[in-house]
């Protein structure tokens, strides 16, 4: 009898968990499992992230020359030039 009771209890708890994870969508008559109802928000985030990555690529290409200048200044041990280049790069990265 305890095996049957265990199975019934497990089935009831599983059903309760599934139904508690579902939430009724306000715009339609369907239920959304685990409240994942807004796919447009995810798409917008991906679009914005791609825009940011494209901006970063442009800034990297534009300032790639500074890396070579920095290596050259460091090899010459020109402290002031190294500080100026690193300050410029710091502001670019910060922006």
> Rounded to the nearest 5°, which phi and psi values hold at 33?
-75, 130
Residue 26, pLDDT above cutoff 60? no
What are the residues facing 33 on neighbouring strands? 22
What are the residues facing 23 on neighbouring strands? 32
The pair of three-digit structure tokens given for residue 69, joined into one six-digit string: 């200048």
Cα angle: 73, vertex 74, 79; to 5 degrees: 75
pLDDT tens-place string over residues 44-82:
888 889 998 888 888 888 888 888 888 888 999 889 998
CA distance 22 to 19: 5
For the chain, the average pLDDT equals 76
> Residue 80: what pLDDT?
92
The pair of three-digit structure tokens given for residue 31, joined into one six-digit string: 């239920």
């Amino acid at each position: 009898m305890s095996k049957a009771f265990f199975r019934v209890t497990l089935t009831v708890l599983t059903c309760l968990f599934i139904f508690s994870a579902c939430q009724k969508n306000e715009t339609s008559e369907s239920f959304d499992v685990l409240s994942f109802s807004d796919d447009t928000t995810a798409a917008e985030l991906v679009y914005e992230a791609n825009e940011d990555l494209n901006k970063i690529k442009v800034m990297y290409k534009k300032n790639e020359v500074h890396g070579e200048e920095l290596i050259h200044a460091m090899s010459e041990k020109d402290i002031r030039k190294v500080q100026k280049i690193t300050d410029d790069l710091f502001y670019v990265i910060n922006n």
